Copies of this chain bind each other. A is one copy, B any other.
Amino acid sequence: MLTGDLLIGAAAVRGTHGEISAIDPRTGEKLEPSYGLAGVADVARAAELAEQAFDAYRETPLETRSALLTTIADGLDTIGEELIARVGAETGIPAARAGGELARTTNQLRLFAAVVRDGGFLGVHIDPALPDRTPLPRPDLRRRYVPVGPVAVFSASNFPLAFSVAGGDTASALAAGAPVIVKAHSAHPGTSELVGRVIQAAVAEHGLPEGVFSMLFGNGREVGIALVTDPRIKAVGFTGSRSGGLALVAAAQARPEPIPVYAEMSSINPVLVLPAALLSRGAEIGRGLVGSMTVGQGQLCTSPGLVLTVDGPGVGALSDAAAAALRDVPAAPMLSPGIQRAFTEGVGRLQDATGVVTIAVGREDASIAAPGQAFLFRTTKAELDADPALTEEVFGASSVIVTAPTADALAEIVEGLEGQLTLTVHADEDDQELARALLPLLERKAGRIVVNGWPTGVEVGHAIVHGGPYPATSDARTTSVGTAAIERFLRPVAYQNLPSWLLPAGLDDANTLGLPRRIDGR
């Protein structure tokens, strides 16, 4: 069924700028078919179609746009088994986890379908005219959000469904009324094609302009940069490496018209274990750490890569329990041979670093082509001060336990950290004073604060924030997960004294669409 084509509007076209194939990280085998890569002309054609689609798509009835998202979710469910099998072959993700990710992806699409139906995201405000106000009459002012324009979405490697072709960025952009061009990830092209064809069919089924969705394959950075610098693209969503994200940010800012880039880049997701919690349940926390850091072989943006403690009696229990648990963790395929190589290099640097002790290594498995083994390290604040590179993200199941001499020294480590997606605190009631003192610092450093739990597992809802200060993301003002993600692809427009025959849908006096609206701010 898979063809290896680019999806440009309603067309499926073989890319002619080289080709790629997925590799099964379990076996090392090359998977069929090969995928033809796009050139700049393909980017231009997709952008042209997206621009042509924009004005019509953004004014489709909310019901239609909502139905589009539901149809995509239904379509993914329909091909669920095929999808889960292909995800497994391309990424090594086991069927149970892939099934969970599929459910998360379709739930997310359906959640945005509900957001669109509700219409609250349009942020309609009406300040009625006050013709008799002195010294000056007040004009009639109405405001709504409009989509920024066509959006480029860069798929992530680690969630081939939830952060990929029909993932959060695509769902929120389509919900906002923005056409989407996906740059598919080269590590799971077959999964991408399966999903892309579901979206393409849904666009056709609802009679929407074909340019609402396109999907391109491209190797290296040429296609990505061409996409970000195309004048018809007005915003970018990206999840991936810091170097990749920063390259897109730089390209977007160098445009004659700079555009926003929402890049989720890197985070080590520190876990603070406060003294009373350490003393009362160090071993339990150690076991919990291993559970969290090895989910998905640690290839999660929220994987805890750093554990910060105050040196004291509980540290031994924590690290002993963690080490014991980690030694039992079986090796499993990493997402791709490239990611596996980068992980091996990363843990190699930690193993070689002065003052860093390797306290446990997970099991090996020679039968896996790209095996991910778990690693646990231990060091001190003094070593961290001497070599800040120890807090750099190692993408995979690797974590470093750090002991600081005092609580103040612990806070000093946090103060020195870069922005993070999450910060986690283990605290008992006896840690109250310290936890309260630390909270403002945590708020300044992270987008999500977790207490007595683990950062992995990002709930898709209204109150979630999956974002954080630079360089965790390029824009701390937004989230990439949850209903608030729709805000990233919107900008406000005010309408002053428009006659009723010119008012856009939803701004009329009678509120024909039944939108939630604020009149005079209430």
- Interface pair B493/A435, CB less than 8 Å apart: no
Encode contact with B along A407-421: 1 for CB under 8 Å, 0 otherwise: 000000000000100
Q: Tell me how far the C-beta of A168 lies from the nearest C-beta in chain B, rounded to whole angstroms.
A: 15
**A496 to nearest B CB, angstroms?**
4
Q: In the complex, which range does the number of interface residues on chain A fall in?
A: 35 or more
A440-459 interface bits toward B, Cβ cutoff 8 Å, 1 = contact, 0 = none: 10011011111111000101
Specify which of B258, B427, B521 is in contact with A462 (CB 8 Å cutoff).
Answer: B521
A450 touches which one: B427, B474, B496 (CB < 8 A)?
Answer: B496
- Verify if A18 is at the interface (C-beta below 8 Å from B): no
Residues 277-291 of A, flagged 1 when their CB comes within 8 A of B and 0 if not, give: 000000000000000
Q: Is A510 on the interface with B (CB-CB < 8 A)?
A: no
A125 CB, nearest partner CB in chain B, Å: 4
Nearest Cβ distance between residue A254 and chain B, in whole angstroms? Answer: 10
Binds B, one of A265-273, A334-342, A355-363, A477-485: A477-485
Whether A448 lies near B127 (C-beta < 8 A) is no
* Contact (Cβ within 8 A) B127 A464: yes
* Interface of A toward B, CB cutoff 8 Å: 55, 58-59, 100, 125-127, 135-136, 138-139, 141-143, 146, 148-149, 249, 253, 257-258, 260, 419, 427, 429, 432, 435-436, 439-440, 443-444, 446-453, 457, 459, 461-465, 467, 469-471, 474-479, 483-484, 490-499, 501-502, 504, 518, 520-521
Further pairs besides A127-B463, A136-B457, A148-B477: 10, Cβ < 8 Å: A138-B459, A139-B459, A148-B476, A257-B419, A258-B474, A427-B499, A439-B502, A446-B493, A449-B493, A465-B493
Query: Can you list 19 A-B contacts (CB < 8 A)?
Result: A58-B440, A126-B463, A139-B453, A139-B459, A141-B461, A143-B464, A257-B419, A260-B475, A427-B499, A432-B502, A439-B504, A447-B494, A451-B499, A451-B502, A452-B497, A462-B520, A465-B494, A469-B491, A476-B491
